[in-house]
Structures are given as structure tokens and as C-alpha cells.
Amino acid sequence: MADQALIDTLNDLRSRELAVCMQYMRHHYLVTGPEGLALAGEFKEVAITEMKHAEELAERIDFLGGDPTSKPAPFPTAATTLSEMAETDLASEEEAVELYRAAIKQADEAGDVTTRRLLESILGDEEDHVDTFQRMLGK
Ligand SMILES: [Fe+2]
Ligand SMILES: [Fe+2]
């Protein structure tokens, strides 16, 4: 019997992945200026990785007998400059790292090794994304 609390956590993470996918795609379309255009591809690349995360989570939720949500979490749409976009996205990624760390602990406590492994693999990508946006900001 799958752990309902763990399925709920995976669905919350999926909702968030769907949201950041749209957030970063928005930044890919809207970024302007020579510096922005040079970095537009990075926003797109990260957005596509987030879409893959959303799909991997859906497959796992389905396997566990849950219903994968198609509802994105709310996401910020105010950023207009490159640095505002990168700051917003860095904050989203730092939050993702915290949420995945907590979910890994939860999967571990539920004794679900496969879910834990999936979450660990996604966490590695989120740490890379923190690095991507920090570099964009010259941090
Ligand atoms: Fe992600
Ligand atoms: Fe990410």
C-alpha cells in the first residue's frame, strides 16, 4: 500500500515543476538586450529539464496508484529585466532544493527506495540550476 502523504508530496512537487517550467519559458521568450539574448537558451534549457521532472514525478505517482495533477502552482510573473528574472529563478531553485531534501527524507521514512532515488536524481539537477542562476547573476 503506497503512502498517501508521499503521493501528496510528489503531486505538490509536480505542480511546482509545471509552474517553474512556464516561469522559465516566459523568461526565455521575454528576455531582451544583448546580454539577455545570449542567455535566453539557458532559460529554455532549464525549462525543458523542469518539464522532464514533472513527467518523471507523474510516472511515479501513477505507479504508486495516485492521480498525477495537471494543475500548476502559482508562479511570479513580475520580472522584466534579466537580473530580476535571474533573481526570481534563483529563489525558486533554492526553494526547490529545500523541498526535494525534505521529500527525500519523507521517502526514506516511508521505506520507498525507488522514489528516494528519483528525488535524489532530481535534486542533483536543482542544485545545478542554483549554480546556473548564480552564474547569471555573477554570484
Ligand atoms: Fe525541477
Ligand atoms: Fe530546477
pTM: 0.96
By the CB criterion, residues less than 5 angstroms from ion ligand 2 are 126, 129
Q: Does domain 4-66+76-136 have CATH number 1.10.600.10?
A: no
- Does residue 15 carry a pLDDT above 60? yes
Q: Quick one: pLDDT at residue 2?
A: 74
- Does residue 37 carry a pLDDT above 80? yes
In angstroms, what is the span from residue 81 Cα to ligand 1's centroid? 23
Domains in the chain: boundaries: 4-66+76-136
In angstroms, what is the span from residue 1 Cα to ligand 2's centroid? 30
Handedness of CA 104, 106, 109, 115 (dihedral sign): negative
* Number of Cα atoms under 13 Å in the Cβ half of residue 129: 30
By the CB criterion, residues less than 5 angstroms from ion ligand 1 are 17, 50, 53
Please name which ligand lies nearest the alpha carbon of 24: 2
Q: Quick one: pLDDT at residue 89?
A: 98
Task: Determine the angle formed by the axes of helices 113-136 and 33-63, rounding to 10 degrees.
Answer: 170
